Amino acid sequence: MTAEIILFWLFAFLTCAGAILVAVSQNVVRMAFSLVLTLGSTAVLFLLLGADFVGATQLLVYVGGTLVLLVFGVMLTATGPFTRIKSSPADAILSGLIGVVFLFIVASTVTAVPWVDSEDGNDISQKIKIGTHTKSAEGGFNPAQQGNTTRPLGLSFLSLRADRDLKLGLPSELSAESNTAPVVPGASVVMPGVTPPPKSSVPPSTGYLLPFEIVSVHLLVVLVGAAYLARTKRRATT
Amino acid sequence: MDTLFAANSLAEFLQALLTLVGIPISAETAYLIAVVTHVALVVGWFGLPAGLFIWAERKISARIQDRLGPTRVGGKFGWLQSLADGAKLIQKEDLVPKDADGLMFRMAPYIVVVASLAAYLALPFSDGWTAVALDTGLFLTLAVLSLEVLGVILAGYSSGSKWALFGAIRESAQMVSYEIPMALCALCPIVTAGTLNLNEVALLQSGGIWNWNILHPFNFFAFFVYFTCATASCKRAPFDLAEAESELVAGFLTEYSGFRWSLFFLAEYASMFLVSGLATVLFLGGWDDGLGILAAIKTASPTGVGSFLANAIGLLFFLVKASVLVCVQIWVRWTLPRLRIDQVMTTCLKYLIPISCFLFAGTVVYPLVLATMSGKTSIIGQPAGERLVQPKKAAGVSSAGAKNESHLRITATGTEGSSR
C-alpha cells in the first residue's frame, strides 16, 4: 500500500505545482507546458485510482489535443520570439480572492459529505481500496491483473448497468454510483450476458445508451459546424 | 497497484520459489522485486532497439547504396558501432543557444523520450507478458503517442531559431494529421476482435495463420494504411519533412547536439519498434507462430513449464515479426525520395483519411453481411465467436475475455455487497 500512497502524493504535488506555475509564470509557452504537467499528473492520478479509461481520455483530449492546439495558437499569433504576459496587481488580488473562495467551496463540500455507505453505515474509504494487493485468482491472474477494468463502463453504454443489473464489483470510476444505486436483494455474482433478470420491484435500468448516442450526434453537429466555418469562402457570389 | 504493475504473479512466484529454497521473504519484498524487474525489463527494451536498429539501419542503408557500412568496431560487421556512437555523443558539449529558452530547450528531449517510453506500458510482448494489462490498452497507447508531438513543438519553439521553428510547425502539422488515419486503421482489428485489450486482440488471432487479422479483407488494407501512417508519425522518410536536411538544416533538431540530440534518436527508434509491435499485435497475430503449435502446447499444459516455454518462444516470434517491420521502415527510408510538405498533407487529408474511413465502415459491416449471407462471420479461419468458446488456453491468463465470471472485476465492494 505504501508505494501507491507515495506515488499519489508525488503526482498530487506535481498537479498543484503545475497549476501554480501556470498562474505565476509570465511566458505564455511556459504556461502551456506547466498545464501539460498539471493535466498529465491528473491523468496519472486517475490511473492510480484504477480509472484507466478516464486517465487515457484525459491524456488524449487535454494533453494530446487541446494543449497542442493551444501551443499552436500561441506560436502562430505571437508577435515576438517569446511572448510575455504581465498581469496587474489588481488582477492578481482579484484572482487570488476567487481562488480562495473556490478552495473554500470545494473544501466545505468535501467535509460536508458523509463518506459512509447509506446501506450499512460503514466508512466508504474502507471499502474502496485503491489497487488492493490481492492474491491471484484461482488459476492465474485476478480480473484487475488481466486488465478488465473498463468492462462495466462499456456494458453500461450498451444499456447493461453492471452495478444495478448484475450486482458485480466495480472499478473505482463507477463505485461512487454504486453506493446510491438500489440493491437487488438475492442477486449474486453472475456471468455477463446470461444474466437472469433480478427478481425485484426495481425495473431494469436502461444504462447510458441514449445519452451516449445523443452526445455522438452532438459531436457530429459540432464537426459539421467546424467544417462549415473553416471552409474557404470562395464562391460567395456566383 | 496491481492495476498499475501486473507484478503480482511474479511476486507470488518469487515468494513461493524462495520459500521452497529456504529463504522466506515477505510479500512486500517480493512485490518490490517484481515491480523493479518489470520496470527494468521495459526500460531495458526501450534502450536496446535504438542501439540495435541504428546499427541495422547503417548496414542496410550501406548495402542499398552499394557500400559496406561500419566494419571495424567490435570485430566483425561493426556491431558495436552504435555503442561507440553513443559514447561519442555523451562526451560532446551540451550547448544551449543564446536566444533559446534554456529551461524548455533542455526539457524538450525528455518529453519526447518519456512519451515514447510510456507507450510501451500496454504493449504485450507475449501472452500476459505486459507491463500493465489494461482494457483500454490501445486507447492509452495512442493517447500517450500523441504526447510526443508536444516535445517536438517545444524543441522547435524554444530553440530560438527559424529553422527549428519551421521544422516544428511542419512536424506538428504532419503528426497531428496522421494520427487520424492511424487511429482509424488501428480500430479496424479492434472492431474485428471486439476488445481494446491488446493481449486479448492477439489471443483471438492465435491458433493459426488463418486466424490472423491480416487475412480479413478490410484489415488487410488497413494494415498498409496503418503502416504508412505509423512511418509518418515516427518522422521517418519519405515523411521526414521536419528535418529535411536540404531545406531546413535539420528542422527542430538544428540546435541540439550531444546527449540531448541522441535522446531524440533513442525516442525515434523506440517508437519505430513500438508502432511495429502494435502492428504485429493488431494485424499479424502477435506472438502466434501461424501453425497453431504454440497454442496447442498451451492448451495441453495451461500452467507450468510448458506454458512458460510456449510464451518464451512466442516472445521470439513477436520480436522477429516486429523487427522485420522495422527493417521495412528502414528499407523504405533508403529507397523512396522525400515528399514535399503539400504532398504529405494531400496524401493524408485527401487520400488516407477517406480510405481509412471506408475501411473502418467496411470492417463494421463485413461480419453482418457475411452472417446474413452465409451464416458465418468469416470466410477464412474460425469466426471470432467460435475461437472464444475454445477450452481454456493459457495459464490462467484471460483467454480472450473468457466466459467465466472472472471476466468482470470483482472487488472487495462487490463481493461484500453480494454476500450480504
Dihedral sign for Cα B227, B232, B235, B239, please.
positive
Select the highest-mean-pLDDT range: A15-24, A178-187, B337-346: A15-24
Q: Is residue A114 part of a domain?
A: no
Instruction: Say yes or no to pLDDT of B242 above 70.
Output: no
In the structure grid, which three cell numbers stand for residue B318, read together?
513477436
Q: Is residue A136 part of a domain?
A: no
In tens, the pLDDT along B148-184 reads: 888 888 888 888 777 888 888 888 888 888 888 999 9
Instruction: Say yes or no to pLDDT of A177 above 70.
Output: no
* Domain's final residue, options A65, A82, A99: A82
Task: List helix spans (H) across B234-352.
Answer: 245-248, 258-283, 293-300, 305-335, 341-346
Residue type for B27, please?
Answer: A
* Domain's final residue, options A38, A56, A82: A82
Q: Is residue A216 part of a domain?
A: yes
Asked if A141 and B412 come within 8 Å (Cβ–Cβ), the reply is no
Chain-centroid distance of CA B97 in Å reads 34
Instruction: Say yes or no to pLDDT of B42 above 60.
Output: yes
- The distance of A70 to chain B (nearest Cα, Å) reads 11
Q: Is residue A126 part of a domain?
A: no
Q: Is residue A98 part of a domain?
A: no
Q: How many CB atoms lie within 10 A of CB B261?
A: 18
- The distance of A104 to chain B (nearest Cα, Å) reads 31
Q: Which domain holds residue A184?
A: 142-231
Asked if A168 and B410 come within 8 Å (Cβ–Cβ), the reply is yes
B233 near B179, Cβ under 8 Å?
A: yes
ipTM of the complex, rounded to two decimals: 0.74
Task: List helix spans (H) across B92-197.
Answer: 102-118, 137-145, 148-158, 162-193
The residue of chain B nearest to residue A190, with distances taken between CA atoms, is B405
At A198, is the secondary structure helix, strand, or coil? coil
Confidence of residue A101 (pLDDT cuts 50, 70, 90): very high
> Poorest-confidence range of A155-169, B19-33, B133-147, B368-382?
A155-169
Q: How many domains are there within chain A?
A: 2
Of A47, A139, A191, the CB nearest to B396: A139
Q: Which residues of B touch A48 (CB under 8 A)?
A: 4
Q: Give the residue with greater pLDDT, B319 vs B94.
A: B319
Q: Give the residue with greater pLDDT, B292 vs A213.
A: A213
**A72/A147 same-domain check:** no
∠ CA B9-B12-B15, nearest 5°, is 150
Q: Is residue A113 part of a domain?
A: no
- Rounded CA separation B137/B142 (Å): 9
For residues A83-110, give the mean pLDDT.
86
Q: What is the per-residue burial (b if ≥16 Cβ within 10 Å, else e) of A17-44?
A: ebbebbeebebbbbbbbbbbbbbbbbbb
Instruction: Say yes or no to pLDDT of A172 above 60.
Output: no
Strand partners, A84: A27
* Domain's final residue, options A44, A66, A82: A82
Instruction: Say yes or no to pLDDT of A86 above 90.
Output: no
- Rounded CA separation B264/A75 (Å): 22
Q: Which residues of A touch B153 (CB under 8 A)?
A: 68, 71-72, 75
In the structure grid, which three cell numbers stand for residue A31, read together?
504556461
CATH number at residue A24: 1.20.120.1200
Q: Is residue A110 part of a domain?
A: no
- Predicted confidence at residue A98, as pLDDT, reads 93
- Predicted confidence at residue B303, as pLDDT, reads 62
Q: Which residues of A touch B8 (CB under 8 A)?
A: 133-136, 141-142, 145
- Predicted confidence at residue A196, as pLDDT, reads 47
Q: Which helix (H) or strand (E) element contains residue B36?
A: helix B27-64
Asked if B406 and A137 come within 8 Å (Cβ–Cβ), the reply is yes
Q: Is residue A106 part of a domain?
A: no
Percentage of chain B lying above the pLDDT 90 cut: 7
Asked if A72 and B172 come within 8 Å (Cβ–Cβ), the reply is yes
B308, exposed or middle or buried, with CB in 10 Å at 0-12, 13-18, 19+? middle
In tens, the pLDDT along B201-237 reads: 888 887 778 778 888 888 889 999 999 998 888 877 7
- Rounded CA separation A160/A157 (Å): 7
> How many inter-chain contacts (A to B, CB under 8 Å) are there?
228
- Give me the DSSP letters along B304-317: SHHHHHHHHHHHHH
